[in-house]
Amino acid sequence: MNTEFKRGIRETLPITIGIIPFALILGAQAAQKGMTAWETTLMMGINFAGGSEFAAVGAWTSPIPILLIWSLTLMINSRHILMGAAFTPYIRHLPKRQLLPTLFLMTDETWAMSIAEIKKREQAGLPPFNLPYYWGISANLWITWVSCGFLGSQFGYLLGNDIEKFGFNMAFPAVFLVLVRGMWRGAKAARPWLVSLIVAAAVYWLLPQGAWYVMAGAFSGLTAAYFWDTET
């Protein structure tokens, strides 16, 4: 097995531990909504974006509100458009048989870890994008997410719906703090992050229903980064 692939698996283990309880809970909630184990597994394997999956399961009723679920998924996953755009300069050289799986497996965690790896390799004078490392990260997260979702649909009812009582609600914030720390380049470079945070929080407060704050935060951060970059 490729050394970089194994390194990707090893370095993503803390994140893997953090997503296990959420996958179990999602599987349990899907089962309570009437979804079969295979339907749950198929959803988690094809969508592979936790936030939109929780939203879809939350909106799942009979008859199924297809348009609502589609709209929620589109809004919450819209950030992947910007993430993919940031990725484009580093992966455009890949053949389609590698490019399409790479984009399919892109999540917040794989994107952040890979961008941090790209910056390190650029400083070392190496080719920026490390494909085996990326697939090590992605394979570990995808297999863990899907398999634990399946287990959750079978046995997750034992955990109940309130994951906060186990302290699991701190898992994702802790993971993202670690990812942000690895991408930190100083206060000046972090100004777009602050803009994105403020706008997202404001939109969430004004429009608590739906996922408009995700799109607003993403585009405001991107716009701020563009204008500040043109000033330098």
DSSP annotation of 60 reads -
Is residue 163 a contact partner of residue 169, using CB atoms and an 8 Å limit? yes
Q: How confident is the prediction for the chain on average, in pLDDT? A: 82
Peptide bond just before 14 cis, omega within 30 deg: no
The answer to whether 148 touches 20, Cβ cutoff 8 Å, is: yes
What's this model's pTM, rounded to 2 decimal places? 0.75
Rg (CA), the chain: 18
> Model confidence over 154-183: pLDDT tens digits?
887 676 656 556 665 565 566 566 656 655
pLDDT in tens, 60-113: 877 877 887 887 787 778 778 878 888 889 999 999 999 999 999 998 889 988
Q: Which positions ≥6 away from 149 have C-beta within 8 Å?
A: 23, 24, 26, 27, 30, 40, 41, 44
